[in-house]
Amino acid sequence: MNTQEVKDTLDTYVMHTYGRYDLVIDHGHGSKVYDKEGNEYIDCVAGIAVNSIGHTHEKVAKVLAEQAKKLIHVSNLYYTEEQAKYAEKIVKKSPHDKVFFANSGAEANEGAIKLARKYTGKGEIITTNGSFHGRTLATLTATGQDKVKKGFAPLPSGFKYIDYNNIKQAEEAITEDTAAILVEPIQGESGVRVPDDDYLPSLRKLCDEKNILLIFDEVQTGFGRTGKFFASELTNTVPDITTCAKAVAGGLPMGLVLANKEIADAFNPGDHASTFGGTALVCSVASAVLDIYDEENLVQKSQDNGKYFMEKLESLKENHDCINEVRGRGLMVGIDINYDCGDLVAKAQEKGVLINVTNGNVIRFVPPLLITREELDKVVEVIDEILP
């Protein structure tokens, strides 16, 4: 198919739930992707924080091909060595004791909500305005943005919203019925919003005092994105439950619900399940992904190169009054612009850089963690050229 045929066919046969950018991506490697005409782009979208190990990593390709010849899927009615090895590896890397395998961020959050309700015997989940937790009915209800809920009533009950980064509102919102507070350590979709340093530790303290659970949605922030393996490490705050997805399996669908033993043990056989959760194929790739993080020092790279990148972006303020703020941690970076700047996406694309604008006015960069300084320099150069 040529470029136009791909677009026309997708528009005809796929439900129109996505506003797509005008680009057909044909292949990719490392931090770069290429269209059908062979044009090269530095990918600062990275599947929206999914491709942290870059595109088509050779190790992943090898493991994937080998595992596909051995065993792809069996039901969770059986044990597999691939799942055993990965479960041990990821749990030991986390501050938790047990994991449940899901297939997406929304599904991981659904699992966390169910677990919190089952463990506490209470129904109410407090979430924050501006948050994003997924598109299933429970997780879109958990999401603190009206636009994702419109048209889907009736919504499940049991959710309550407070302002992000406001500990007083959290204190006031907790009732006898509260099971948990669910929060992103840094809000992604609403424009890379970093809370004050004492916000998450204060939430931890509050949850302990009130005997409710603290759940961190690390679907976007997890796996080195913020310069620590888990963003919770940025403020040394250990939640009771952590959810992850995006970067977990290098682009294959995988979600994680990680919890402490006492809480995790509230789930009994039959309480929760997922047909595709933790297949041999996905677990073998996810194991390779963790090895790649270690071998290529990706978490440290995210921290160091993120700092380098943010300093360079910060310097653009001198020539561009439209920049309100450059913010983020590691390689999760946003430039807050003083107008709705969606048009910048096409302008950057024309110059060989893929970016994304979230919340209308925030340019978001979540590139592969192995992106080089040379590539980041080029990104800054392009942003400098396209900003008014």
Q: Which residues bind ligand PLP (CB under 6 A)?
A: 48, 104-106, 109, 132-134, 184, 188-189, 217, 219-220, 245
Q: Which residues contact 170 (CB under 8 A, 6 or more apart)?
A: 126, 162, 181, 202, 203, 206
Strands 40-43 and 124-128: what pairing?
unpaired
- Our CB check for ligand PLP shows the closer of 366 and 383 to be 366
Q: For the CB of residue 216, give the shortest distance to ligand PLP in the complex, in Å.
A: 10
Strand partners, 252: 249, 250
Q: Which residues contact 42 (CB under 8 A, 6 or more apart)?
A: 31, 32, 352, 353, 354, 367, 371, 375, 378, 379
Among 291, 218, 197, CA closest to 49: 218
Pairwise CA distance, residues 370 & 52, whole Å: 7
- Our CB check for ligand PLP shows the closer of 138 and 323 to be 138
Burial class (CB in 10 A: 0-12, 13-18, 19+), 34: middle
Is residue 184 within 8 A of residue 132, CB to CB? The reply is: yes
Task: For the chain, give percent helix, strand, coil, nearest 5.
Answer: 40, 20, 40
Is residue 275 within 8 A of residue 340, CB to CB? The reply is: no
- Our CB check for ligand PLP shows the closer of 83 and 109 to be 109
27 phi, psi to nearest 5 deg: -155, 170
Amino acid at 340: D
Task: Pull the structure tokens for residue 44.
Answer: 């600062």
Task: Pull the structure tokens for residue 350.
Answer: 């024309």
Sign of the dihedral through C-alpha 242, 246, 250, 256: positive
How many C-beta atoms lie closer than 10 Å to residue 373's C-beta? 13
User: Which residue has its beta carbon closest to ligand PLP?
Assistant: 105
Strand partners, 358: 362
Residues annotated as catalytic are 132, 217, 246
Q: For the CB of residue 109, give the shortest distance to ligand PLP in the complex, in Å.
A: 6
- Our CB check for ligand PLP shows the closer of 188 and 367 to be 188
Strands 32-35 and 25-29: what pairing?
antiparallel
Among 139, 44, 31, CA closest to 355: 44
